[in-house]
Structure 1
Amino acid sequence: MKLPLHLILGLWLTTNLFVWSQNGLPLESLKSYPFPNELTAAATGTRIAWAINQEGKRNIYVAEGPIFQAKRLTNYLQDDGQELSSVSLSADGKWVVYVRGGDHGSNWNDDLPVNPTFMPTPPKVQIWSIPFEGGNPRLLGDGETPVISPKSDKIAFSKGGQIYTAPVDGSQTATLLFSARGSNSSPVWSPDGSRLAFQSNRTDHSFIGVFTDSQNPIIWVDPQYKRDSSPRWSPDGKKLVFVRTNGLGGKPDSVLSRRLVPWHLMTTDLSTGETKTLWKSPNRLNGSLPTTHGGTNLHWAANRIVFLSYHDGWPHLYSLPEQGGSPLLLTSGNFMCEHIKLSSDGKSLVFSANAGNTPQDIDRRHVVKVSVDKADMQILTPGESLEWSPVVLGDAQSVAYISATAQRPPLVSIIAFKGGSSQNIALELIPVNFPTNDLVIPKQVTFKTPDGFTIHCQLFEKAGGAAKKPAIVYIHGGPPRQMLLGWHYSDYYANAYAMNQYLASKGFVVLSVNYRLGIGYGYEFHQPKNAGSNGASEYIDIKAAGEWLAKQPQIDPKRIGVYGGSYGGFLTALALGHDSKLFAAGVDVHGVHDRTIERTRNLMLPDQYEKAPDAARALEVAWKSSPIAYVNTWKSPVLFIHGDDDRNVRFSQTTDLVRRLEDQGTPIETMVIVDDTHHFMLHANQVKANKAIATFFEKKL
């Protein structure tokens, strides 16, 4: 008997739902989400551009108001591991400029090619432009960090420590703009496009230089025995403001003590050469040079100098009159400011913040705006969704940003500058088989550690299931990161969020831990005592998370695992070495395992007669802060995953630990990702690693 079509479809759907419930969500479908980043806007009009990574195919998209219909400009249709970065729009909106290649989230060699597809001739790291209206990309040169002139006619960029230039339309070959000692970078055009300010790093000191043309010598701005950085032009192009910190050197200080890093804001009049101190940071620990996103986030706005500082205990925005004076706090409250952008008219700032009306908002991001001259902060996107990376459009009437929820993956969105309802762009990029409604909504969990820290976590748990479930502690990397109650604004951590969803769909209860050293909870949380190589006090939070899980009635305390990448891999290894009785199995992805490497010589054999007064003690503490110090008590099975072109954590860190565990017979499994980096630039490699993690935990837990 032939069944009717509707019964066949119903049977297929019922069968597939049963398979999903037994085996979890299909990982390939879950990993098919589009991830937008590099959002930018033209200085005039309503044009925006951004990059999208979808299953490793990375392309440039654009849209224009009032319709904001997304259009793909490029045709990079292979999963080839070539990232797109430094996306920018010319002021007139006619050209999109971007860098293709490299790994610009690296700690070193970010400008070298990445070749995870093993091509005999590796790709290059190159700067390209493409017309907003469409056409073929045009090669501008090999290099990175391009900045477009305000005249929209040419770019300046860095290559090999020197500054080059090329016409934005690619009509001529890139040429060396000037040659100067040191490593020269961070070029910034003057408002009229006639001059270029830049930073010249000379190891123990750095200068701010100003280049005019080949007929005039470079101007060095108030050269001192200091490190100067972040030059910013005044709106009239006559002055500069920049950041000044101390040069390297001085009497060796305590290694184990927390140390103040003072900084000043300096202004210089280029016509007279007069330079003066505009503002000095407070002489206390939280007055140190900020280390959150964008650092000092220095801007010269309309008659105000705007900057970020941590000196009230949170990374907040301040502004000063051009002539100096007391800084005005623009943002107040227990939240941080990130992704800060100045409007093209210089009158307003937009940023993302973990601020809102509910206790859950400290674990989210929302778009906020504030004037540069008064504390009139307004949250533009309140609610249970997440929003980040805002930019004010050139007409100053709208704000573009990236938004997501706990279930819907990130998309570019538009909202009126005065607030109101929003418009999502490119919804059609979310595949029809993406399991949006099957994702769990993570719950906020907090607990106190034995030494008094309040720890925020996200709990991923599917309803129903066994009476006693296996559980996993997830540990983010960084460590200056914060995992959120929804999709993350980092590609790396969007993958982690998807992975936690995948594990939850397979019946695991996953607890994602925001441990001390992370951002989002104030200075003392971000810069705690005895952390990192000075004692690894952050491990207290990981152990407390495992113990919290063990006390939950639905959790089998004998089946608690732990996993994480980078700094999360380091803490995973510490957990397995310290507490194998608590953590039954773990996955260590490109973790650090010996914190004395690259530190021993500088501490014990410095290139000078003097040593730090606590050098020997600091070396001992660094050893005891390292997972390899606890190999003898490491009993739990572990899976190691590491890419051997890692430019953030040396591959040798895992090679060494694998040898030690093999020698003592600890059960280990390994996966090497050949010729890929810390960020698994090849989508197929990330899926491969994710599958290995899930399979390992299914076997062991």
Structure 2
Amino acid sequence: MKALLNVLFICSGFLIFAQKGLDDFLSYSFPSHLKAADHIGKIAWVVNEKGIRNVYSAQAPAYKAVKETQYFLDDGIEISQLLFYRSGLIFVRGSAPNKEGEFPNPYLDVKGTDQAIFLSSNKRVQKLTEGSEPLLRGEVMCFINKGQIYEYNLTDKLARQLFITRGQIGSLRLSPDENKLAFISHRGDHAFLGIYDFNNQSITYPDPTVDIDSDPVWSPESDQIAVLRRPYDPRLMFISKLTAQPFSIRLINIEDGKSKTLWQADEGEGSAFYGLSSGQQLFWMLNNEIIFPWEKEGWLHLYAVSTKEGKAKLLTPGNFEIQYVSQSPDRSFLLFSSNRGDLNRQHVGKWKDSKITQITKGKGIEWSPVSDGLGNNFALGSSGLEPAAVKRLEQGKINTIFSSEDYPSSDLTLPEAVVFSAADGVKIHGQLFLPKGLKTDQKNPALLFFHGGSRRQMLLGFHHRDYYHYAYAMNQYLASKGYIVLSVNYRSGTGYGLKFREALNYGAGGNSEFNDVLAAGLFLQNHPNVEVTKIGLWGGSYGGYLTAMGLARASDMFAAGVDIHGVMNWNVIIKNFMPSYEALEHPDFAKLAYDSSPIAHVDTWRSPVLLIHGDDDRNVPFSESVDKIKALREEKVYYEQLVLPDEVHGFLLHQSWIDVYKATVDFFDRMLE
């Protein structure tokens, strides 16, 4: 009996102190799509709990989290576009179709899937109609289905097409007096503003153009409307664009239809528009100033232009970048997140009456701030040890409304901010994950991680995008297994200014960021705890591209890699995003793009690789992995593959992430043992 008790004690101790598994590190509940009501004290958000997506809300005065829906499957069906209706919530469930009109279905539901609008009210959820982009006008909901505008009467449950017009319709904006509906009509190489008048049931196109209009915004009095205008730019993608034909803001008077250019960007650097990570780029304030993003000073900042004068003034000076912006319901102030004062994190600030107030700071990360109808402020937030949560920001305090339960934060390690130089002198930032208890004389295998995008920035904590929230947790798990991990913010990413993002010769224009891959490899080789013969690299999308480039061009440095839906040939990728692109029409560029791709360097690829891809990928065609494996076979390079049927680029199933990361860990454990 005593021996049995000792065994039980040992087993019990093992259960208490055993290393957590990958499932534990990915066991968080990720909140997103934070939305605030305009006229009452209420917020809502979407939670992805291990693939099970539901809608939550919280209401004044207590702001206690309430689960509004009861979905219970990891079925890959996204929830988005929240809208407050009476005491309930309208939301969209499902993702957009691919080019063939097929909706994502990685769960392999034999009934298929769609994208539809739902209403949750009194603990009951009902499907209203297929479509997306819901917008309320009293008891009538306008929405888009197959590129056209419809309306759905929430009282009699009837839907009808509002009007028929050419082009693909988007960006619905209801005038404050609710008499008119603005929209953008997309027509291939041009797009312009349209206005539907509910009173006389007519359509007008007040300022048609050969350019690309977007982001309509109404004046508070509904008598004017502004749009962002960008000249049509057929230039090639994934190359440096420091300049362009300048973008502008157009102002249209509703009564007489007269329009004018209110403001235009200066020529030179900053003339190419680069937007915020927000659903809107123009903000018409109560004082009749329009606030917008511009990179005049080399950083993504907010500027204001009076609708009377047309001269822009800088609102957010300094070497930092704005990312998320939202407007208060009364149009008197803006909330924003940026890396102001802390390049490695995001914090929330407030702009009001020409002054910036820093609301959050410190070791946390905060993003997607919103303000409700009572003037209370909220945001999503995380830290180096805590996954994303819903936060209330009040008088210097941050109170948590919703967070993950029983997450193993104590098993995580705080990453260190590091900076190193590439061979051409470019400074590269990264986050270094060291295993707990690492001894000074210990030698461990090491890994480089490259984010996708490339317009991304990894942070010193859980990320604001679900794809990289997963990646951060994965890097933590790898560190818990003894790997030294360096996450690399290579050139052409965001957070470090215009010239860093639009780095010369990056991507298809010369792959200059390969210098950063080598510099990161040298950083690990020079680290006293790294076993220099056991360095691997991994990443997805653009990160998969850099993984493949590292293996193809530096197999002597990198012993193995995991390439998740990575680029093989830039010419294929560019055509996927620009169907009009024909390589034969651009022979010099096409050759440069080819030479900047892994396909041009397969003959020097020697290190083993695991290739992972979902075959409904809309960003990086599945054919890229088909071509990659064909080339590796010809060169007799060892590879393994994991194909995810009907999965898209940003994996929709939590189980897909589990499968991908387990395969990744298993591969590195075997290749770097």
Both structures adopt the same fold (TM-score exceeding 0.5): yes
Superposition deviation, residue 560 in structure 1: 0.4
Question: Structure 1 residues 535, 564: CA separation in 2 closer, same or farther (over 3 Å shift)?
Answer: same
CA distance in 2, matches of 1:95, 1:179: 31
Counterpart in the other structure of 1:518: 493
Structure 1 residues 254 and 174: CA distance shift in structure 2, 3 A: closer
Residue 611 of structure 2 corresponds to 640
Q: Please name the residue that 1:100 is paired with.
A: 93
Q: Distance in 2 between matches of 1:435 and 1:170?
A: 47
SS in structure 2 at match of 1:16? helix
> Residues 339 and 390 of structure 1 are in contact (CA less than 8 Å); yes or no, is this contact kept in structure 2?
yes
Counterpart position of 2:432: 459
| Residues 506/61 of structure 1: CA separation in 2 closer, same or farther (3 Å cut) | same
Structure 1, residues 655-676: CA drift from partner, whole Å, max 9, x if none? 1100110122101000001111
Cα distance change of structure 1 residues 109 and 293 upon mapping to structure 2, 3 Å threshold? farther
Q: Is the 8 A contact 1:33 1:431 kept in 2?
A: yes
Query: How far has the Cα of 1:18 moved from its partner?
Result: 5.7
Deviations 1:530-571 (A, max 9, x none): 111111111111111011110111101110000000010011
CA displacement 1:422-470 (0-9 Å, x = unmatched)? 210134xx233x2111100010010111112111100111133471110
Matched, 1:194 2:186: no
Counterpart secondary structure, 1:675 = coil
Pair 1:479-2:457 in alignment: no
Distance apart, 1:696 and its partner CA:
0.4
Give ranges in structure 2 of 5+ residues lacking alignment.
none
Whether 1:650 aligns to 2:635 is no
**1:111 touches 1:144 (CA, 8 Å); kept in 2?**
no
Deviations 1:518-539 (A, max 9, x none): 1000000111111111111111
Whole-angstrom distance in 2 between the partners of 1:526 and 1:327: 24
Task: Specify which of 546, 550, 558 is matched with residue 583 of structure 1.
Answer: 558
Q: Is the 8 A contact 2:103 2:114 kept in 1?
A: yes
- 1:447 touches 1:455 (CA, 8 Å); kept in 2? yes
Aligned to 2:66: 71
Distance 1:659 1:477 in 2: 24
Match of 2:125 among 137, 144, 155: 137
Structure 1 counterpart of 2:346, from 356, 362, 365: 365
Q: Which residue of 2 aligns with 1:402?
A: 380
SS for the counterpart of 1:198 is strand
2:408 counterpart residue number:
435
Distance 1:163 1:596 in 2: 35
Q: After TM superposition, give the deviation of residue 377 of structure 1 in Å.
A: 0.8
Separation in 2 of the partners of 1:589 and 1:179? 42
Distance 1:384 1:81 in 2: 33
Does the C-alpha gap of structure 1 residues 291 and 249 become closer, same or farther in structure 2, counting only changes over 3 Å? same
Counterparts of residues 284-683 of structure 1 (less than 5 Å): 284-294=268-278, 297-302=281-286, 303-356=288-341, 361-371=342-352, 373-374=353-354, 376-396=355-375, 398-416=376-394, 419-427=395-403, 430-432=404-406, 434-465=407-438, 467-597=442-572, 602-606=581-585, 615-683=586-654
Kindly report which structure 2 residues correspond to 1:254-273, keeping only aligned pairs within 5 A, or say none: 259-273=243-257
Match of 1:46 in 2: 41
Q: 1:539 to 1:130 in 2, by over 3 A?
A: same
Which residue of the partner structure matches residue 112 of structure 2?
A: 122
SS of 1:660 mapped into structure 2: helix
| Distance in structure 2 (CA, Å) of the matches to 1:254 and 1:72 | 42
Aligned CA distance change for structure 1 residues 249 and 475 (closer, same or farther; 3 Å): closer
- Residues 111-151 of structure 1 deviation map (CA, whole Å, 9 limit, x = unaligned): 842211212210211111223xx3312222111222233x4
- Distance across 2 between alignment mates of 1:524 and 1:257: 9
> What letter matches 2:108 in structure 1?
F
Structure 1 counterpart SS, 2:453: coil
**How much does 1:648 deviate?**
1.2
> 1:517–1:528: 8 Å Cα contact kept in structure 2?
yes
1:402–1:413 CA contact under 8 A, matched in 2: yes
Alignment partners' CA distance in 2, 1:349 and 1:393 = 12
Instruction: Check whether the contact 2:294–2:301 (CA below 8 A) recurs between aligned residues.
Output: yes
Asked if 1 retains the 8 angstrom alpha-carbon contact of 2:239 and 2:506, the reply is no
How many corresponding residue pairs?
Answer: 665
Is the CA contact (8 Å cut-off) linking 1:289 and 1:296 kept in structure 2? no
TM value normalised by structure 1: 0.91
- Give the direction of change, closer, same or farther, for the CA distance of 1:291–1:234 in structure 2 (3 Å limit): closer
**Residue 13 of structure 2 aligns with which residue?**
14
Deviates more, 1:56-65 or 1:213-222: 213-222
Residue 616 of structure 1 and its aligned partner are, at CA, apart by: 2.6
String of CA shifts for 1:224-279, please: whole Å, max 9, x gaps: 322222111100011101112224679x9998875414111011111011111110
Q: Match for 2:427: what amino acid?
A: T
Distance in 2 (CA, whole Å) between partners of 1:469 and 1:249 is 48
Between the aligned partners of 2:541 and 2:30, the Cα distance in structure 1 is 21
For residues 30 and 281 of structure 1, do their structure 2 counterparts lie closer, same or farther at Cα, with a shift above 3 Å needed? same
Alpha-carbon spacing, 1:68–1:257, altered in 2? closer, same or farther (3 Å)? closer
Structure 2: how far apart are the matches of 1:240 and 1:18?
Answer: 62
Distance 1:566 1:494, change over 3 A: same
Matched residues in 2 for 1:687 and 1:201: separation?
39
Counterpart secondary structure, 2:158: coil
Aligned equivalents of 1:39, 1:295: Cα separation in 2: 12
Identify the residue that residue 609 of structure 1 maps to in structure 2.
none
* Counterpart code for 2:118: W
Partner in structure 2 of residue 81 of structure 1? 76
Shift of 1:651: 0.3
Q: CA RMSD in A?
A: 2.3
Runs of 4+ residues over 6 Å off in structure 1 = 252-257
Q: Secondary structure at the match of 1:286?
A: coil
Alignment correspondent of 2:151: 165
Displacement of 1:100: 0.6
**Normalized against structure 2, the TM-score is what?**
0.95
CA deviation profile, 1:303-333 (whole Å, cap 9, x unmatched): 2111111111111111121213322211111
The amino acid that maps onto 2:396 is G
The letter for the 2-side match of 1:687 is I
Please state whether the residue corresponding to 2:600 is helix, strand or coil: helix
Contact 2:571-2:583 within 8 A present in 1 as well = no
Q: Residues 3, 327 of structure 1: CA spacing in aligned structure 2 closer, same or farther, 3 A cutoff? A: farther
Letter of the 2:299 counterpart: W
SS in 1 for 2:519: helix
Change over 3 Å in CA distance of 1:323–1:668 after alignment to 2: same
Alignment equivalent of 1:148, drawn from 118, 136, 157: 136
